[in-house]
Chains A and B, each alone.
Chain A
Amino acid sequence: MRVPQEWSAASSGERTERDPEPRPGSPGGRASVGGLGGPFEAPHEIGLRVWRAVGPGGVVVAAVVLLALLAPVLAPHSLGAFDLTHRLTPPIWDARGDWTHPLGTDTLGRDVLSRILHGARTSLGIAGAAVLLAGALGILLGLLSGYAGSWADGVIMRLAEIQLSFPYLLLAIAVMALFKPSLVNLIVVLVLRSWVVYARLIRVVTLSAREREFVVAARALGGRAARILFRHIAPNVVGPSIVVSSFQLAELIIVESSLSFLGLGVQPPTPSWGGMVSEGRDYVGSAWWISALPGLAIVVTVLGANLFGDALRRSLDPRLRVS
């Protein structure tokens, strides 16, 4: 697809507001790295900047990660436990609820709170692994594409375009259906979605970094390509990559839970938020909490990751900091 860069960013579902593509005539149009703690900052100012970069979103994400890590300790019931005599118990705020199952039970009498906590491990684990893999792959290919240019650039960008000319969810569904919906396949499908976003962004950042004075100087001094790439260009890529990763985490959690909701992602009995929403589907009229509460967990986590990304971008991109 030959869609100009800044348009395709929005259309491919990427949430960066603007590509850091340098605009002709705008002096600020360069890749942004906002290192923390300049030489003249007092400690409390650094603290303030760290807080601005983290924001409420970062706190939410950290809390969910912590809950996921501690799930086996925090969950009031064990993962496999079910109690057929206490099926469809409502949450405690309902008159019929009780403290043994604070968020109620599902159709098999499994504790909803425990399953949400364990589901956090599944959802965050899968999305997190996919973001890391897609990031590693996409950043490498983006650097290569942007720095080497010529045929490598052509091949990588053509691949990206073919990938983007597929309606993604349909592709994901076809892959998961034709192959077994295993954990590995699920992660592969998610990586497939994400690497393009990294590769295209990093390519643009690399292209603009390549023309900066210190890179030109390094090249003029006879620096080897690998050294220039990793020593002088790679640091420029760190900031944008971190910002994108936060948005991608949000995105992939939604994709994973959508696939699990459709029955093509995480397979029962492994708890996943999307799968739990799906299990409660036929009970929305009566036992709404089975679907509603895991869905709320998705919303809170994704909202947190999106807010975190926004806060990171604002603190890492000097152009957005003026206000």
Chain B
Amino acid sequence: MCRYVVGRVLQAVVALLGVTCVVFLLVSLSGDPAFILLTPEAGEEQRAAFRELYGLDQPLPVQYARYVSHVARGDFGSSFAFNRPAIQVVLERLPATLLLTATAIALGVVVGMPAGVAAASKASGPLDRLVMALVLLGQSVPTFWLGLLMIRIFAVNLRLVPVSGHGTVLHLVMPAVALGLYLAALLARLTRSEMLEALAQDYVRTARAKGLSERVVTVAHALKNALLPIVTLIGLQLGALLGGAVVTETVFAWPGIGSLVLDAILRKDYPVVLAAVEFVAAAFIVINVALDLLYGYLDPRLRTART
């Protein structure tokens, strides 16, 4: 178990280094900051001074080492737009993003999992067909378009909720539903296929043979065993949504990390963009490791099956 934990954490460190490496390369490849940040009138001498100031005249590996040491200390430089540490600007947006993500995931779980269980318990029946049709639809409708339609219908026509922004519970409704429906589709699909598999296992037959009610068999025996992959998906979505709700946040002007990144890009506020990317990637990796360790604990087979 100890070896498993150490191995898993080491892998996470490698992945984190990989992420910083990719981000670093992206920035280095995207052009010479001395040309991007200084005015075109700046002379070659000023550019050279600028490069020296920020260590850009050093070889790439040296620059990378310096970058990693800064990132490790949470130093991403100052935001050009706010003149405050970039990471601080990112973290300020975290509560709004967490609120939206948590609500959407809760909605997805409440709608998606029962739908998947119900579909699997009568596979190929009318309910199954209906659920699968809705899942297909949910995966085929782009979030930004669904969001705009919802604004048109619920905010403009029916005036039930505000068009966009945040502040009250009503502001949360539309973004959470737009995001939650997509998650519900994902979860329903996965729950259904995992349940189909679990329901075909011997222990389910044994449970039925013992005379347990179908409900107990479904929930206590099949669903419990089908749960691990479902929890994985939820965890991964949580990680991805910390930064991946860009589209939803933009459509509804929700002040989370996603919309911050987009604004920062438009303002060419690169320290904020990089801080956000690194932060979200790190959170994503940490959640992943936490999930894996949890499984190692819950399911001993995984500790040895995959080194």
Contact = CB atoms under 8 A, between A and B. Distances in A.
A292 B149 CA distance: 7
B225 to A, nearest CB: 13
Interface stretch (B15-23, B78-86, B165-173, B207-215): B15-23
Nearest to B197: A18
B262 A173 contact: yes
Interface stretch (A101-109, A225-233, A234-242, A253-261): A253-261
Contact of B18 (A162, A178, A295): A162
Interface stretch (A71-79, A202-210, A299-307): A299-307
A298 B149 CA distance: 14
Contacts of B276: 170
Contacts of B277: 170-171, 174
A279 B299 CA distance: 51
A11 B284 contact: no
Given A258-B142, A258-B144, A285-B152, A11 B18 contact: no
Contact of A254 (B11, B27, B142, B258): B142
A15 B228 CA distance: 18
B39 interface: no
Given A6-B229, A178-B27, A306-B140, A298 B193 contact: no
A162 B22 contact: yes
A161 interface: yes
A2 B251 CA distance: 35
Interface residues of B, number: 64
B25 to A, nearest CB: 10
Nearest to B283: A167
Nearest to A3: B232
A165 B29 CA distance: 21
Contacts of B247: 169, 258, 261-262
A168 interface: yes
B152 A173 contact: no
Interface in B250-271: 250-251, 258, 261-262, 265-266, 270
Contacts of A161: 15
Interface string A66-101: 000000000000000000000000000000000000
Interface stretch (B50-58, B66-74, B237-245): B237-245
Contact of B306 (A2, A167, A306): A2
A291 interface: yes
A210 B151 CA distance: 53
Contact of A284 (B152, B236, B281): B152
B22 A166 contact: yes
Contacts of A17: 189, 193
B257 to A, nearest CB: 9
B74 to A, nearest CB: 19
A169 B243 contact: yes
Output the residue of A15, A165, A171, A280 with the most chain B CB within 10 A. Answer: A165
A277 B274 CA distance: 28
B68 to A, nearest CB: 15
B233 interface: yes
Given A162-B15, A165-B15, A262-B246, A295 B284 contact: no
B236 A11 contact: yes
Interface in B272-307: 273-274, 276-277, 280-281, 284-285, 288, 292, 302, 305-306
Interface string B144-161: 110011011000100000
B211 to A, nearest CB: 27
A310 B274 CA distance: 39
Interface in B183-223: 186, 189-190, 193
Contacts of B292: 1-3
B136 interface: yes
Contact of A167 (B145, B193, B274, B281): B281
B42 interface: no
Nearest to A264: B265
Nearest to A296: B145
B298 to A, nearest CB: 13
Nearest to A295: B145
Interface string B18-57: 1100110011011000000000000000000000000000
A17 to B, nearest CB: 5
Given A168-B244, A170-B244, 10 more contacts: A6-B229, A162-B19, A166-B22, A169-B244, A170-B243, A170-B277, A175-B26, A179-B29, A274-B142, A281-B251
Interface of A: 1-4, 6-7, 10-11, 15, 17-18, 161-162, 165-171, 173-175, 177-179, 250, 254, 257-258, 261-264, 274, 277-278, 280-281, 284-285, 288, 291-292, 295, 298-299, 302-303, 306-307, 310, 323
21 contacts: A3-B288, A6-B229, A11-B232, A11-B236, A17-B189, A165-B18, A165-B284, A165-B288, A166-B22, A167-B244, A167-B284, A168-B244, A174-B261, A178-B30, A258-B247, A263-B266, A264-B265, A280-B148, A284-B152, A284-B156, A303-B137
Give 6 closest A-B pairs by Cβ, nearest first: A295-B145, A178-B30, A177-B265, A162-B18, A170-B243, A303-B140
